[in-house]
């Protein structure tokens, strides 16, 4: 079955510390992976996608097909990174996204 | 460009009433998606529509729920005879044809008393 797992509901780190939000997926094909973010009182928006292989707001994510993971990382957390983060999978690049339950990231001053 | 507009932002209904949620896609987007988010859960796909056409409604409950995207006007998600379990945030997203990058609305939060 196709599934996206974000094992941490809540992650709290201090400002300046490294951040890693975990995302594991279950899918046998060639999925496309995304990270979406929802800042307080704002709408859900795309943060990055694995095919872009770019860094957005200091965040990177590498698709590891062997471990079926797409963890989101940032070396030095900032207070404005506090938000809900959702990992999503698009099976074979079609339109239907499968979502993880989300991780709430809190950056402590 | 106002982005994806959803209204109402908050809707309170009593059990048995009808709820109608509206979504206007981003300018230039012809595809609309509805998602539901139950408390403590991730987003669950409900339905995918183009103008006057339902492409995929595999995520829609078989009863009481319907969606449309008419030639003119917003897309509407309709829930008849609401029950407490329908209480959730309903998100609409839109995209250009064939794209899997979605632009989301702010969501409509339905509370059923």
Cα–Cα distances (Å) from B42 to A6, B58, B90, B100, in that order, read 10, 17, 12, 18
Higher pLDDT, A31 or B104: B104
Q: Could you tell me where the beta strands, DSSP code E, fall in B1-113? A: 5-7, 10-13, 19-24, 31-37, 43-50, 53-56, 65-68, 75-79, 88-95, 103-104, 108-112
Cβ <8 Å between B101 and A46: yes
Chain A residues touching residue B43 (CB < 8 angstroms): 86, 88, 97, 99
Beta bridge partners of A72: A21, A61
Q: What does the CA dihedral A21, A102, A46, A34 come to, rounded to 10 degrees? A: 60
Give how far B103 is from chain A: nearest CA, Å: 7
List CB contacts (< 8 A) between A102 and chain B: 42
Distance of CA A86 to the CA centre of its chain: 5
Give the residue numbers in B contacting A (CB under 8 Å), as ranges. Answer: 3-4, 31, 33, 35, 40-45, 48, 56, 91, 93, 95, 99-107
> CA of B50, closest CA in chain A: separation in Å?
12
Q: Report pLDDT for A95.
A: 66
- Residues B49-87: tens digit of each pLDDT: 998 999 889 899 989 999 999 999 999 999 999 999 999
Q: What is the mean pLDDT of residues B29-48?
A: 87
Q: Count of alpha carbons within 13 Å of B10, Cβ hemisphere only?
A: 1
Residue in B52, B43, B59, B51 with CA at minimum distance from that of residue B97:
B51
Contact call for B40 and A4, based on CB within 8 A: no
- Residues in chain A predicted with pLDDT less than 50, given as ranges, are none
CA-nearest of B108, B70, B65 to B88 is B108
| CB-based contact A49 B41, cutoff 8 Å | no
Minimum Cα–Cα distance from B43: chain A residue: A99
């Amino acid at each position: 079955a196709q599934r996206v797992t974000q094992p941490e509901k809540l992650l709290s780190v201090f400002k300046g510390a490294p951040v890693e939000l975990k995302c594991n997926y279950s899918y046998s094909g060639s999925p496309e992976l995304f990270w979406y973010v929802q800042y307080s009182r704002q709408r859900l928006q795309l943060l990055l996608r694995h095919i872009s292989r770019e860094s957005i707001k200091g965040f990177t994510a590498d698709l590891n097909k062997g471990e079926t993971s797409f963890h989101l990382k940032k070396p030095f957390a900032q207070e404005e990174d506090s938000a809900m983060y959702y990992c999503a999978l698009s099976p074979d690049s079609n339109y239907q996204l499968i979502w993880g339950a989300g991780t709430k990231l809190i950056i402590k001053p | 460009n106002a982005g994806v507009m959803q209204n109402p932002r908050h809707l309170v209904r009593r059990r048995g009433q009808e709820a109608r949620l509206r979504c206007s896609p981003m300018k230039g987007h012809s595809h609309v998606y509805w998602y539901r988010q139950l408390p403590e859960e991730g987003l669950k796909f409900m339905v995918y529509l183009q103008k006057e056409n339902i492409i995929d409604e595999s995520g829609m409950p078989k009863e009481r729920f319907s969606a449309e995207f008419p030639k003119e006007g917003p897309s509407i998600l309709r829930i008849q005879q609401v029950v407490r379990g329908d209480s959730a945030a309903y998100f609409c997203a839109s995209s250009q044809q064939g794209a899997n990058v979605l632009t989301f609305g702010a969501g409509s939060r339905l509370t059923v008393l």
